[in-house]
Amino acid sequence: MKPAEEIYTKLKLYFPFLYFCLLTVILFSGNTHSLTDQDEAAYAGFAKQMIESGNWVTLEFMWSEVHRKPPLHFWNIALSYKVFGVNEFAVRFPAALFVWLTCLLVFVAGKRIAGPKTALLWVVVLSTSLLIPALGKISVTDSTLLFFTTACAFSFYFVLEERKWKWVLVFWVSFALALLTKGPPVVLFALGLAGLLLILHPKRRNLILFHPWLFLPLAVLPLLAWGYATTRYDNGKFIEWMIDWYILKRVGGSVFGQSGFPGMHLLMVVLFFIPWLLFLPQAFKELFTRFFKDKQEGLFFSAWFVAGWFIFELSPSKLPAYVVAAHVPLAFFIARFASEQKLPAKLWLIIHYLIAFSLFAALVAVPLIINVSAATKVLFVSVGVVLLAASISSLFVLRTKWFLPALISVAVLLQVGLWQVLVPATDAYKNITKQVADYATAHADKTSSVLIANGKNKPPSLPFYLGNTFKSIQDEYDFSVLLKYYYSDSACVFILNEKQNALFAQTVSEVVVKKTEPLQELKQAFPDYYIIIKPENEKANRLPLPEWLEQPLTQQAYEEGIRSNPQWLRDLEAKAKEQNRSVEELLVADALWLAENDLRRYNYLTAMLQNPRWKTDLETRAASRGISLEAFCREEVEFVFKQGRVY
């Protein structure tokens, strides 16, 4: 026996342990890059709010309302904060843990179903696909849901084969926790799988052991208890919104344009298994053949795939993670075929390597033509070259027993290169909101009020990172309010867009602005931010008002003025006839509007003229224009109020 073969034989027993050690490194390291908007940052914010407020029932965070879901994933993040502190690693720890546990569950169950060799390869295929590791590296609810859905599926298998109560218990506990993670998806999956097994499986009678009429109400109790608790805060508004947003809107349509053509989910599943494209045709052939011909193991995994995929294909709402439950059985069929060490048809070999070479060559080429740093270019080129070399090397062992280990090496290297090298390397180009928060933290007083006026895309990561330092954060788009804050005595941080920044430059003397600017290619996703830091000012006595500033007219005075204006009355009569309303009602409404606007302008003028800093600025600018302070102030007020809310 050759030395290499001898080492390989000795290490074979330790392969599962060694691979899970490697998987631990891949999933849990490199998780400190900035949060991904929208979902991940919103979930991080929900958990942070729970910790800070002590309210673990309702889900509240700025710019995150549409991302609310059942709370289990957010509770897990909050618990992770307790252990690791409020940071990106803690946000991602629960997601990474549940993907790792899913792989462990697949290995343990797979050993009993198909033997240790196929079980390990099953884990390898699943964990080196493109979607499953991503669910562990970006903290979304689907990693937790995947674990509990997989547990439900294996429970079905072992109840059919062994008819033991412990698997019934595992199923209903997993079902209850899946409901508490994301609600309806596990119901659709369980109903679909149970229905197919009832129709097709020869041991269908064993399914009676689940006793859904008894256990289903118990499994729903945790979700109902949480839902009832939320009604004590908002009288059921959140539950009504959840039913509308997550059920009604997605059954009859889609949200955020998340739609697609029939077959899109199946296509996405294929794309996510590109590292194993070589075996996909045979895997799908086996999957659909077994569905109609096999009456045991193959039928079960085919039914699992169909239950996790088909019903979501019928929905107009399309997202890749909707069908994540179908990835597990597909990985099983790929692993089973790959373990036989049979080469597929030459055509698929050619297609597999053409796609692999194209993707890895793109990693080399793309950074060379976009504006990134030299260090980033080197990392991309290095990863691309290593993957190309590994892929080419696998061709030299094509018809040997080393071919499958070579393919596994390429798939693992892809994961390491992607998550341990490339994602951290590109973080500087996507962490714009963190840059804004870091600049504000470094230059502003910690007691500052933060006013976010640049709400483009409303990324939840911006208030999340700002909230690590500042307690008072609000979005405010009314330019008159922003200007008032600027001239107040309190310390403030203003986060503006280009138009708002231009208005500040036009109305405020010598304002200092810091601009953050993303890559030109990323402008749609990451806007420019303009940051103004205003320190706290010493409290100054209010100045007396000038004699030329008269009190505004009252509503009664305006009503009398309108009544004495024949043309105005004629216009009101015509309008009243057109709208089927009384002249008196319209007259009062006009007078009220005029009085309120006058009062608003008077109050704003009062704030300007009683503030020493503001008045000094106004006097300087009026003098530069060569006009009186009164004329300039009235002109300034009209200009400011004309801007209104600036987006």
Kindly report the backbone phi and psi dihedral angles of residue 321, in degrees, each rounded to the nearest multiple of 5, phi listed first.
-75, -10
Task: Give the burial string for 205-239 (b: 16+ CB within 10 Å, else e).
Answer: ebbeebeeeebbeebbebbeebbeebeeeeeeebe
Which two tokens mark 299? 């039928």
In the predicted model, is pLDDT for residue 521 greater than 70? Answer: no
The average pLDDT across 510-514 equals: 88
Condensed to tens digits (0 to 9), the pLDDT of residues 445-455 reads 999 999 999 99
What is the structure's pLDDT at 596?
Answer: 95
CB 524 within 8 A of CB 456: no
In the predicted model, is pLDDT for residue 87 greater than 90? Answer: yes
What is the structure's pLDDT at 249?
Answer: 79
Give residues with Cβ within 8 angstroms of 292, minimum separation 6: none
What is the structure's pLDDT at 11?
Answer: 64
DSSP string for 185-254: HHHHHHHHHHHHHHHH-TTGGGGGGG-HHHHHHHHHHHHHHHHHHHHHHHTTHHHHHHHIIIIIHHHHS-
The average pLDDT across 188-215 equals: 95
In the predicted model, is pLDDT for residue 95 greater than 70? Answer: yes
What is the structure's pLDDT at 2?
Answer: 61
Which two tokens mark 71? 């709370």
CA Rg, the chain, in Å? Answer: 32
Condensed to tens digits (0 to 9), the pLDDT of residues 26-73 reads 999 999 999 999 999 999 999 999 999 999 999 999 999 999 999 999
Confidence band of 8 (pLDDT split at 50, 70, 90): low
Condensed to tens digits (0 to 9), the pLDDT of residues 576-634 reads 999 999 999 999 999 999 999 999 999 999 999 999 999 999 999 999 999 999 999 99
pTM, 2 dp = 0.92
**What mean pLDDT, rounded, does the chain reach?**
92
What is the structure's pLDDT at 3?
Answer: 63
In the predicted model, is pLDDT for residue 88 greater than 80? Answer: yes
The average pLDDT across 102-124 equals: 96
Condensed to tens digits (0 to 9), the pLDDT of residues 221-234 reads 999 999 999 999 99
What is the structure's pLDDT at 4?
Answer: 58
The average pLDDT across 333-347 equals: 87
Confidence band of 252 (pLDDT split at 50, 70, 90): low
In the predicted model, is pLDDT for residue 567 greater than 90? Answer: yes
Kindly report the backbone phi and psi dihedral angles of residue 514, in degrees, each rounded to the nearest multiple of 5, phi listed first.
-110, 130
The average pLDDT across 211-240 equals: 95
Which two tokens mark 470? 């500042």
Give percent of the chain with pLDDT exceeding 90.
82
What is the structure's pLDDT at 541?
Answer: 87
Confidence band of 248 (pLDDT split at 50, 70, 90): confident
In the predicted model, is pLDDT for residue 16 greater than 70? Answer: yes
Condensed to tens digits (0 to 9), the pLDDT of residues 260-269 reads 888 999 999 9
In the predicted model, is pLDDT for residue 314 greater than 90? Answer: no
Which two tokens mark 142? 């689907």
Residue 474 pairs in a beta bridge with 451
Q: How crowded is residue 35: how many other Cβ atoms within 10 Å of its Cβ?
A: 28
In the predicted model, is pLDDT for residue 636 greater than 80? Answer: yes
What is the structure's pLDDT at 245?
Answer: 85
Residue 529 pairs in a beta bridge with 516
CB under 8 A, 24+ apart: contacts of 157-162 = 157/109, 157/113, 157/300, 158/109, 159/206, 159/207, 159/209, 159/210, 160/197, 160/201, 160/203, 160/206, 160/207, 160/300, 161/203
Condensed to tens digits (0 to 9), the pLDDT of residues 341-390 reads 778 888 889 999 999 999 999 999 988 888 888 999 999 999 999 999 99
CB 2 within 8 A of CB 9: no
Confidence band of 9 (pLDDT split at 50, 70, 90): low
DSSP 317: B
Please give the residue that has the higher pLDDT: either 511 or 470: 470
CB 189 within 8 A of CB 307: yes
Condensed to tens digits (0 to 9), the pLDDT of residues 388-437 reads 999 999 999 988 889 999 999 999 999 999 999 999 999 988 899 999 99
Please give the residue that has the higher pLDDT: either 298 or 133: 133
What is the structure's pLDDT at 5?
Answer: 61
Condensed to tens digits (0 to 9), the pLDDT of residues 582-593 reads 999 999 999 999
